[in-house]
Amino acid sequence: MITRGQKTLLICVAILLVAPFVVVFGVSVGASKTISFPPDALSAQWYNTLFTEPDWLAAIGRSLLIAAIAALISVTIALAANYVLWRRQSGFSKLVFALGLGPFLLPPIILALGASIFWAEFGWYGRMEATIISHGVFFVTLPLVILARGFAALTEEVIEAAQMMGATQAQVFRTVILPLIAPYLITGFALVAIISVNEYLIANMISGFVVETLPIKIFNNVRYGYSPVVASASMLFVGITVTVLLVLARLTDLVSLLGASKES
């Protein structure tokens, strides 16, 4: 049962959460050359600029490329750590798992600074590959935890049944385990990709001055005088993020994936 007070609270919070983006949306579709809200006249010119100016297009492309490969790296590490831990509860596999939880617990500035020193020593400072690898490793925690739920839901009997029918270790993995944990893999991949696309600090400290990703471009724009293109770029982000999550909600049961029980 929900009380009237709770309903009021939810409405107020929802308004506060959405309000900034309503304004940004308003600015992005306005015809005015300066930031203004509510828009005097509607225009798609800022989206047009975003998708035609090579600068912005390049930033979008870089961000998506980094996100896709970083997510792949993250999910691969998370899958390996979880699979080994699930097959054999050894101390070493537990250590690997615990190590994967680490990046989430530390403030990003520490990771960012560490990574920038590391890549400087390594000689890849300022290269996109460096950003990709660091994103992939630092964002491993989320898929790690999500996949752990997936493996926890696997029963030993299913595997034994497959083995009794003559499946080898590799066949069991390919024909039984992989399909069963697929929803968790997809969720993990999508979340890492979204977070990577949105990440600023680490990307900026590793290679920000050379590899300008979309958030870095927006940040620089905001800092040194900005035009409504920034608003349309922001809305592009919101659009990508919400779309991916909506698709995810279609494909998987997000509510129970997050650990809440099913109940009416």
Candidates 70, 93, 147, 232: give the one binding another protein (CB under 8 A). Answer: 93
The stretch among 43-51, 152-160, 178-186, 239-247 that binds another protein (CB under 8 A) is 239-247
CB closer to another protein, 46 vs 237: 237
What x-and-dash track marks residues 175-214 binding another protein by CB under 8 A?
----------------x--xx-xxxxx--xx---------
Q: Is 46 among the residues that bind another protein (CB under 8 A)? A: no
**HEC sequence for the chain:** CCCHHHHHHHHHHHHHHHHHHHHHHHHHCECCCCCCCCCCCECCHHHHHHHHCHHHHHHHHHHHHHHHHHHHHHHHHHHHHHHHHHHCCCHHHHHHHHHHHHHHHCCHHHHHHHHHHHHHHHCCCCCHHHHHHHHHHHCCHHHHHHHHHHHHCCCHHHHHHHHHCCCCHHHHHHHHHHHHHHHHHHHHHHHHHHHHHHCCHHHHHHHCCCCCCHHHHHHHHHHCCCCCHHHHHHHHHHHHHHHHHHHHHHHCCHHHHCCCCCCC
Give the interface size with another protein as a residue count (CB under 8 A): 93
Q: Is 15 among the residues that bind another protein (CB under 8 A)? A: no
Q: Is 88 among the residues that bind another protein (CB under 8 A)? A: yes
Tell me the closest approach of the beta carbon of residue 35 to another protein, in angstroms: 6
Q: Is 24 among the residues that bind another protein (CB under 8 A)? A: yes
Q: Is 36 among the residues that bind another protein (CB under 8 A)? A: yes
Candidates 29, 112, 145, 159: give the one binding another protein (CB under 8 A). Answer: 112
